[in-house]
Amino acid sequence: MPLKSRIAALPDLPEGCAAVVATVDEGLAELMEIGFVPGAHVRPTHGGMGGDPRVYELDGTLVALRRAAARHVRVTLLHQGQKGAD
């Protein structure tokens, strides 16, 4: 399903869709400490059963993040890849 906007909430990205972190909600230092900072490259790779938690490739490192935390991250889309494609 193509996204209509170039800005999206992190959990709304389809698998393989490359993006750059635009903003992280204020007061969420934990997310910034693990690398969710403006300018970081992120791409959803896969999710657990039921989709939560979801694994993201964040500047070359795999990070698992629950939807409740991921919704506080806004990203700018770069391009929409296909599952399994690099």
Q: Where do the domains of the chain lie?
A: 7-80
Are the CB atoms for 40 and 21 separated by under 8 Å? Answer: yes
**In this predicted model, which residue has the larger pLDDT, 78 or 49?**
78
CATH superfamily membership of 7-80: Ferrous iron transport protein A (FeoA) (2.30.30.90)
Residue 74 confidence class, pLDDT cut points 50, 70, 90: very high
Q: What is the DSSP string of 5-60?
A: SSEEEGGGSPTTEEEEEEEE-TT-HHHHHTT--TT-EEEEEEE-GGG-SEEEEETT
Amino acid at 41: H
pLDDT computed for residue 16 by the predictor: 87
CB atoms within 10 A of CB 74: 17
pLDDT in tens, 34-45: 999 999 999 999
Residues 4-48: tens digit of each pLDDT:
568 899 999 998 899 999 999 988 889 999 999 999 999 999 888
Q: Quick check: 44 and 13 in contact, CB under 8 A?
A: yes
